[in-house]
Amino acid sequence: MIKANFKISKSNETDKKGSTNNNNDDLRKDLTKSEFEEFIVKSGAAGSFMVFRSEKKKDELGLDQL
Amino acid sequence: MPDNIEFTIKEDTLAKMLSLKKEMGFDEKGWDEWLEFVLNTISFEKKNISELEKIMEKVHFEKSYDEWVKNFSFNLNHIWQESSARDLDPSSNPNYKKEEHSAIVIGAGPSIPKHNHLEILAKSNYQGSIICTDRSLKPALKAGITPDKFEKYYVTSIDGIEKIKDFYTDPIISNYGHKINGIFSTVVHPLTVQNAREAGIKIHWLHALFDYNEGKKSFNQISALMVRAKNHLKGLPAIQTGGNVGTSSWFIAWQILKCAIVGLIGINHSWDENDSWEIITANFNAAKEIDRSDPLFNKLFPKIYNPEFKSYCILDPIFQFYSNALKEFITRSPLWVTTVNATEGGCIFGERITCATFTEFLTKYKI
């Protein structure tokens, strides 16, 4: 086992180095759902299809016959 | 928070961290910068899966639903006359052993030309199933991957937009079409299937699931009732598409063709780190309004390290949507399914995904 000491630098020091902070609060602040939706719509690139979701998780893997 | 925190880790853990930090190109950089990069990747993936899917669902219903219903109505007469994808399922043969069979799904990602995967496959003696996604059919045939050499040959389309029809127009497709089995969702554009049909491809139908969970009034259930009204009394198989034809093909490989080993090539679901930003953002006009130094840009287009192939790739919002879904469904697939990512790059790695070079795949799996 190794014992290590971590010196904590204040977040403004980190910011000065040009790093980005990506915790959930920041993500929400930077990219709200509506903003992201607008981005996708404006981009005109929504991919081919949607992912199918269901309360019956087994159905999500497909049905032998429908 | 205190200025100093003391903690204890195993020597092995530290050695792994040092090795990975170096491997990821962070050898000369600080620990904080490296840990932040790693944590960004993890938190972004977890946070955005459901949010991204909900947005895509809304966008698709607004953008594509009417088109899908229209396509289905034009296809219905043909669906009644043509085969079900279930007819391709070999498991009705009591001697069939799925664990002895493999398939290769060919996507159209940038790793295909980068690693000469089509040429490698064309020269191989592989005898398993070949599943071309629609976009990759033409280049595969032109590279010598033909049904004359690879007898179990399939092509798949699930997308309802009209431009997919262009993937089925080329003299080489007409030359080999009669030896190719096509698997199409009931909502593909009628001109797509018409071009495939005219090229001689034998059409097999399946449903693409998207609103089945909404009950008897859902389009999936109503259209299924209409299909069962004539000839297809047992209905058609219905697959999860995962949002794209590559993931659909992976599902088809084990659910319909009953292959226990599924190899993936050209399924990058990402951009190469050497691709220019102009190419990466080409489909995202809105991205051009965002400064590249803005943290928002890095969240829309995160850089991911693939520890299996020791390479970086860049995702865009669509690729995040695709890759999250595929990786999730691989972890949820039955235990008899083995997924081998032989793409040699991209972002498909993790739980229950075996990564190997394509040559290694072809050496190990021959049937």
Place of tokens 């969970």: B213
**pLDDT top residue among B160 and B52:** B160
Number of structural domains (chain B) is 1
Gap between the Cα atoms of B19 and B17, Å rounded: 5
Quick check: is B29 in a domain?
no
* Contact criterion met (CB < 8 Å) for A61 and B295: no
Nearest CA in chain A to B210: A52
Q: Which residue has the higher pLDDT, A14 or B324?
A: B324
Pairwise CB contact (< 8 Å): B299 & A31:
yes
pLDDT in tens, B261-280: 999 999 999 998 888 888 88
Using alpha carbons, select from B210, B221, B223, B182 the residue that is nearest to residue B74. B223
Looking at beta carbons, which residues of chain B come within 8 Å of A53? 53, 213
Alpha helices in chain B (DSSP H): 11-23, 31-81, 111-114, 117-123, 134-142, 171-176, 190-198, 219-228, 245-255, 277-280, 295-300, 317-332, 358-364
pLDDT score of B292 more than 90: no
Question: Rounded distance, CA B121 to CA B119, Å?
Answer: 5
- Contact call for A30 and B3, based on CB within 8 A: no
What's the mean pLDDT when you consider all of chain A? Answer: 67
Q: What are phi and psi of B8, to 5 degrees?
A: -120, 130
Here the tokens at position A32 are 């709200």
Least CB–CB distance from A52: residue in B7, B32, B240: B240
Q: Using a CB-CB distance cutoff of 8 angstroms, which residues of chain B are in contact with residue A64? A: 86, 237
Structure tokens at B327: 């990786």
Angstrom CA distances, B147 to A7, B131, B155, B172, B215, stand at: 63, 11, 11, 12, 41
Is B18 contained in some domain? no
d(CA B296, CA B299): 5
A46 min Cα distance to partner chain B (Å)? 6
Query: In this prediction, what percent of chain B has a pLDDT beyond 90?
Result: 71
CA pair distance B131, B343, nearest whole angstrom: 15
Residue-level pLDDT at B96? 96
Place of tokens 């009034």: B217
* Share of chain B residues as helix, strand and coil, in percent rounded to the nearest 5: 50, 15, 35
- What lies within 8 Å, CB to CB, of B49 at 6+ separation is B324, B328
- DSSP symbol at B131: E
Do the Cβ atoms of A62 and B255 come within 8 Å?
yes
Kindly list the residues from chain A whose CB atom is less than 8 angstroms away from the CB atom of residue B329.
Answer: 60-61
Token duo for residue B44: 């972004």
Cα distance between residue B54 and residue A46, in whole Å = 12
Residue B258 confidence (pLDDT): 98
Q: Which residues from A are below 8 Å from B258, CB to CB? A: none
Is B3 part of any domain? Answer: no
- B126-136 CB burial, b ≥16 within 10 A, e <16: bebbbbbbbbb
Report d(CA A34, CA A41) in Å as an integer: 10
CB contact under 8 A, B241 and A62: no
pLDDT of residue B73: 98
Q: Which amino acid belongs to residue B14?
A: L
- B229 in a structural domain: yes
CB contact under 8 A, B237 and A66: yes
Judge whether A46 and B59 are in contact, CB under 8 Å: yes
Task: Please give the distance of CA B274 from its chain centroid, rounded to a whole number.
Answer: 22
Do B5 and A6 make contact, defined as CB atoms within 8 angstroms? yes
B27-30 long-range Cβ contacts below 8 angstroms, 24+ apart: B30/A17
Residue A31 per-residue DSSP state: S
pLDDT for position A22: 41
Q: Amino acid identity of B106?
A: I
How far is residue B297's CA from residue B295's CA, in Å, rounded to a whole number? 5
CA B300/CA B297 separation, integer angstroms = 5
If one compares B338 and A8, the residue with the highest pLDDT of the two is: B338
Whether B158 and B248 have beta carbons less than 8 Å apart is answered as: yes
For residue A20, the model assigns a pLDDT of: 37
Indicate yes or no: CB of A60 within 8 angstroms of CB of B240.
Answer: yes
Q: Look up residue B152 and give its amino acid.
A: K
Contact: B36, A59; criterion CB under 8 Å = no
- CA pair distance B25, B147, nearest whole angstrom: 43
Q: Which of B9-13, B238-242, B280-284 is the least confident region?
A: B280-284
Residues forming a β-bridge with B154: B131, B181
Asked whether residue B122 carries a pLDDT value surpassing 60, the answer given is: yes
pLDDT single digits (tens) B9-57: 888 888 888 888 888 888 888 888 888 777 766 655 555 557 777 877 8
**Is A25's pLDDT higher than 50?**
no
Query: Among candidates B254, B158, B172, which has minimal Cα distance to B204?
Result: B158
Taking alpha carbons only, the member of B218, B219, B244, B217 closest to residue B53 is B244
Give me the pLDDT at residue A47, please. 65
Residues of A in contact with B38 (CB under 8 A): none
To the nearest whole Å, the CA of B125 is away from the closest chain A CA by: 32
pLDDT at A4 over 60: yes
For residues A21 and B90, the model is more confident at B90
pLDDT at B137: 98
Alpha carbons B42 and B36: distance in angstroms, whole number = 10
Q: How far apart are CA B171 and CA B222, in angstroms?
A: 38
Q: Which of A27, A57, A33 is nearest to B46 (CA)?
A: A27
Complex ipTM value? 0.85
* Residues A48-52, mean pLDDT to the nearest whole number: 87
Alpha-carbon distance of B312 to B308, in angstroms, equals 10
CB-nearest partner of B329 from A30, A45, A61: A61
Query: In the A/B pair of chains, how many CB contacts fall below 8 A?
Result: 202
**Residue B19 included in any domain:** no
Record: contact B244-A48, CB cut-off 8 A: yes
List chain B residues with CB under 8 Å of A37.
55, 58-59
Does the pLDDT at position A21 exceed 60?
A: no
Q: Which domain holds residue B76?
A: 39-364
Higher pLDDT, B21 or A62: A62
